Structure 1
Amino acid sequence: MGEMIKFSIIVPVFNRQSSIGKCIESIQNQDYSNYECILIDDGSTDHSLQICKKYAENDKRFLVLHKENGGVSSARNMALDRVHGIWLCFVDSDDTIKPNHLSSLLKRDKDGVDIVFCGYQDTYIDKVITHSYNDIVYIGKNSIRDFLRDTDVLWHMIPWDRMFRADIIKKNHIRFNEKLSISEDRLFCYNYLVHTRGIATISDVTYVHDSTDSNSLSHRSVPIDMQKNRYRLMAKATKKIIAVFNMNKKDSVMLHSYNEGLLILMQKTTDCWWIVLTIIGCDAFGIVKLITKQILHRVLLRKEYP
């Protein structure tokens, strides 16, 4: 019997002929080789599918799937039904990972954790912003609660700067919501988080995220009905996190206020403003945090949460 696959890497692809080759090569250049990579072409109209097939022809670790266009969530979900690895990683098709990405995450393989965070770089047109952690392990609900409270991780719930246990995703049938085009990443991570017994962070900065694309779905205005649905789903997921990790009333207000702050930002932000924010490298989540603090201040002044 062959060695069990350690990592499954999921890469959704849509019209990324200019970047997908570089992305795939960064995966092939890993200094750890026991992985499978699933490339899901989401109905590309350029040469992305052909490029993926060309790389896969010469590397049996790569599997190429093709589907009609349905969005990044449907592409990821299709791949989730095909994974064989113990751990699961996501990589966006316009991003790259450094050669030690998998091996660095694997340092925490035996620490009894269910999710491991790595540092990452946000690359803009004229600058690079680095986000990093210390090497720490958090075991148990109280320790995890302190981690969530003391870091910005709940503000940046993205799937690609971490590794997940595939069995938790399979057992609890955790999937990306295909009816959302914003906050689907955050909702997925929240739904996974409530099943987590331990969290680890590593100091290595191994993921490189391209933040220059103003055409990304996350940078588009969203219909109000979808905003309301997103808000309802996030409120439900937030309540679960508060209950599972025994968060106090102040934490509860902060988390719920974040969702309200994000809703306000989406209502007031147009395609044009997202493009401007991207070009100047503005941290939109920083704006949300400012709105959240203002909401929290008003609530505490009303003494609804003594």
Structure 2
Amino acid sequence: MTMPSQPLISIIVPVYNVERYLDQCMQSLVCQTYANLEIIMVDDGSTDSSGEKCDTWAERDSRIRVIHQSNAGLAAARNTGLDAAAGVYIGFVDSDDHVLPDMFGTLMRNMENADADLSIVSYAREGLDGKTYCNALPGKKMVMTSEDAFKYVNIHGYFYVVAWDKLAKKELFDGLRYPVDAQYAEDSPVTYQLLDRAERIVYESAPLYRYRMTEGSQSHGITDKFAQSTGNMLELVRRKYPQDEPYAAYGHLESIVGTCNRIILAHKRKEWSGFERYARVRLRNLLPLVEKYGLLSRSQLLQWKLLVVSPALYSVMYRCYKRRHPEISSH
């Protein structure tokens, strides 16, 4: 009696100037306990030895395919991989990160056991000293609808809008690609669409992905793209999952305040004065709903109200706070 074959998973790995980390990433993929993999390395115009390393890995393992292209950015590299993927399921791994041996086995096992369209695990941040930190609530495993998912993606301790801790049925990506005009936060609009399209979603909080905190991890520049994306998410939730509106409003406001915080730290309030005005209007309109449902701590509520009333005082206090706590991200 022959065992049924495992479904093919396509893992898309965008590669750009990561010669220092690429071998660890690829070693973690070829050693996965789930063997039926197609690993698509998209060399996005690397100027270091990353492109040659890709070719070397393809020679070592027949499951690896390499596509070399001119530099077009992370979103374009992911799209190239999606266009080339032959798998029934799609996953992503960033080439400066790595994964634990049973990550894709766990994602697939949960997918099949739950008869789900989208499977999610958690991740741990890995610092320069090798220490790891995960802020997901431990021991969580749940099967959910899209309505449930738009609640949990907007509160802390569960899952996020990143591309690389998920496994999706390929058909969820039909007509869906990453926005190439977004330098940062290109994951979020696609992730929100996946959550909306999937009929059943399974989540396990095991931190099986390792997100490497490199020198530039916290300095993602200033962009209003994530605030725009969460604003679109809020409109989608109002239209299709109105019970989740308080959670979506909280997620949207958090992305707005996070953007304001980065503007403050970069001393660019004048250049971004229009966004600051937008932020104050949104906070004024949505804070009562979020406060009513108890989604804010008292200190967070006071901080956000201060941003509405006096952005200048808020900016002074936030810079003082960051001087005392430089390790905390700018949310």
The alignment's TM-score, normalised by the length of structure 1, stands at 0.79
* Paired position in structure 1 for 2:144: 139
1:144–1:245 CA contact under 8 A, matched in 2: no
Query: Mean alpha-carbon deviation: is it higher for 66-75 or for 262-271?
Result: 262-271
Give the secondary structure class of the aligned counterpart of 1:243. helix
Choose 1 or 2 for highest CA Rg: 2
Query: Which residue number corresponds to residue 101 of structure 2?
Result: 99
8 Å contact from structure 1 (residues 120, 130) kept in 2:
yes
Q: Which amino acid aligns with 1:14?
A: Y
Q: Residue 121 of structure 2 contacts residue 207 of structure 2 at CA under 8 Å; is this kept in 1?
A: yes
Native 8 Å contact 1:7 1:34 kept in 2? yes
State the one-letter code of the partner of 1:123: E
Q: Deviations over 1:160-213 (max 9, x none)?
A: 11212211112xx221111111211122211221112222122433211111x2
Superposed CA deviations along residues 209-231 of structure 1, whole A, max 9, x for unmatched, are 111x2235x62323xxxx34553
Aligned to 1:64: 66
Equivalent-residue separation in structure 2 for 1:146 and 1:235 (angstroms): 15
Alignment length (residue pairs)? 274
The answer (yes or no) to whether the contact 2:12–2:41 under 8 Å persists in 1 is: yes
Moved more, 77-86 or 132-141: 132-141
Distance 2:206 2:81 in 1: 27
| Equivalent residue, structure 2, for 1:115 | 118
**Which structure 1 segments of 5+ residues have no match?**
272-288, 300-306
Cα offset, 1:257, TM superposition: 1.1
The runs of 5 or more residues in structure 2 that have no matched partner are 268-295, 308-331
**Residues of 2 paired with 1:190 and 1:269: CA distance?**
28
User: Is residue 155–residue 251 contact of structure 2 (8 Å, CA) maintained in 1?
Assistant: no
SS in 1 for 2:54: helix
Contact kept in structure 2, 1:137 and 1:198, CA below 8 Å: no
State the identity as a percent.
22
Aligned partners of 2:104 and 2:261: how far apart in 1? 35
Q: Deviations over 1:112-163 (max 9, x none)?
A: 2222221322111243202445352323345435544665446x32111121
RMSD (Å) for aligned C-alpha atoms: 3.0
1:221 alignment partner in structure 2:
221
Aligned to 1:125: 128
TM-aligned CA deviation for residue 35 of structure 1: 0.9
Q: Partner residue of 1:159?
A: 163
Tell me by how many angstroms 1:253 deviates.
Answer: 3.0
Name the SS for the 1:8 alignment partner: strand
| Counterpart mapping for 1:173-192 below 5 A | 173-192=175-194
Write out per-residue CA displacement over residues 13-71 of structure 1, whole angstroms, 9 at most, x where no aligned residue: 11111111111111111111101000001110111011110110121110100111111
Selected match of 2:47 from 45, 48, 67: 45
Tell me whether 234-243 or 4-13 shows the greater mean CA deviation: 234-243
Offset of residue 293 of structure 1: 4.2
* The 10-residue stretch of structure 1 (5-14 or 107-116) with the greater mean CA deviation from structure 2: 107-116
Alignment map for 1:70-89 (pairs within 5 Å) = 70-89=72-91
Structure 2 counterpart of 1:241: 237
Q: Secondary structure at the match of 1:92?
A: coil
Once residues 269 and 112 of structure 1 are traced to their aligned partners in structure 2, the CA distance between those partners, rounded to angstroms, is 45
Amino acid at match of 1:109: M
Give the Cα separation in 2 of the matches to 1:200 and 1:108: 7
CA drift at 1:79: 0.6
Q: Is the 8 A contact 2:99 2:209 kept in 1?
A: yes
